[in-house]
Structure 1
Amino acid sequence: MSLEVCAALPAISATGAGYDAYVTLDASGTFSQAKREAGLLRMQQAGVVVSDCATLMVEALADNAAPESGDLYAALDMPFAVLVGQLSAAHQS
């Protein structure tokens, strides 16, 4: 997916229509550093939230003590998934 076209244009359009738009940088690429920087700048100027996939998934979860948090962190293959599982288990006891 091309960051400056395939990700940026729909996100900018959604923001213009009044929606909150999020773009995950690690889910898209581009053909040059200049295109990347131009796409990022355009999105930020339009109010698009730019982040990475793992951060947005954790933000959507909103609660590390939620029963599904351990499965989410494990699916994201994040190094601290085991720690989150321990925290969730301790929180429930």
Structure 2
Amino acid sequence: MEATGRQKLIFAGVSLEVCAALPAISATAAGFDAYVAVDASGTFSQTKRQAGLLRMQQAGVIVSDYATLMVEALADNASPESGAVYAALDMPFAVLVGQISAAYQA
């Protein structure tokens, strides 16, 4: 990861409280900006999920959902990739954004 020069990492895992949380907490401790897509991660119980969320928040991990993280990574709805990103996310407003983006480009 260090060789890429990137500072922002997105995690998800089969088990939120272990597979996503532990690498994200380690990444934060190593100086990276760690994000966890909570809705893209599973869990074995609500208690484990809540404990994992608390541990991550206490460690400075940014907790969000996958769609918000993808839109944030996109950074600009006018970029040429925006239509493909929204389509891949299967978001209902993707069609509207595509129409607005096309209108600005015309």
Shorter-chain TM range is: over 0.9
Is 1:58 the counterpart of 2:74 in the alignment? no
How do 1:66-77 residues align onto structure 2 when only pairs under 5 Å count? Answer: 66-77=79-90
Q: Which residue of 1 aligns with 2:26?
A: 13
Residue from 77, 82, 92 that aligns with 2:95: 82
Q: Which has the higher contact order (CA 8 A, sep 6+)?
A: 1
- Range 38-47 or range 28-37, more displaced: 28-37
Residue from 10, 15, 21 that aligns with 1:2: 15
For residues 84 and 18 of structure 2, what CA distance do their matches in structure 1 show? 33
Structure 1 portions without partners, runs of 5+: none
- Number of aligned residue pairs: 93
Deviation at 1:26, TM superposition (A): 1.3
Residue from 55, 59, 83 that aligns with 1:46: 59
Q: Which amino acid aligns with 2:100?
A: L
Which string of whole-angstrom CA distances, capped at 9 and with x for unpartnered residues, describes residues 2-61 of structure 1? Answer: 011111000000000111001101111111111000000000000001111110000000
| SS of match in other structure, 1:50 | strand
Q: Which amino acid aligns with 2:95?
A: V
4+ residue runs of structure 1 moved beyond 4 angstroms? none
| Root-mean-square deviation (Å) | 0.7
Q: Which amino acid aligns with 2:19?
A: C
Larger relative helix fraction: 1
